[in-house]
Amino acid sequence: MKVGVLALQGDVPEHFRALRHVVPHERLLLVRTPEELATVDALFLPGGESTTIARLLENGGLWRPLARRLGEGLPVLATCAGLILLAREIAPSPSGRDPPTFQVVDVTVRRNDYGTQRESFEGPVRVDRLEGPPFPGVFIRSPRILAVGGGATPIAWVENEVVGVRAGTIWGLTFHPELSGDPRVHRKFLAEAFPAPSEKRAQARRPGR
Residue at 140: amino acid letter? I
Site string for ligand GLN, 47-86 (x = CB under 6 A): xxxx-----------------------------xx--x--
Binding-residue total with ligand GLN (CB under 6 A) = 11
Which of 14, 15, 80, 186 is an active site residue?
Answer: 80
Residues 112-131 that bind ligand GLN (CB under 6 A): 112
Which of 49, 89, 119, 178 is an active site residue?
Answer: 178
Binding residue (CB under 6 A) for ligand GLN from 5, 140, 190, 193: 140
Q: How far is the CB of 96 from ligand GLN (least distance, A)?
A: 11
Angle between helices 184-193 and 12-20 (to 10 degrees): 70
- Cα distance from N-terminal residue to C-terminal residue, the chain: 24
By CB under 6 A, residue 101 contacts ligand GLN: no
- What does residue 124 show for φ and ψ, rounded to 5 degrees? -70, 130
176 is catalytic: yes
Which of 122, 176, 192, 199 is an active site residue?
Answer: 176
What distance in Å separates the CA atoms of residue 162 and residue 155, rounded to the nearest whole number?
Answer: 8
What distance in Å separates the CA atoms of residue 51 and residue 182, rounded to the nearest whole number?
Answer: 28
- Classify the phi-psi angles of 115: left when phi > 0, otherwise alpha if psi is within -120 to 50, otherwise beta: left
8 Å CB contact between 8 and 33: no
Q: Enumerate binding residues for ligand GLN (CB under 6 A).
A: 47-50, 80-81, 84, 111-112, 140-141
| Residues forming the active site | 80, 176, 178
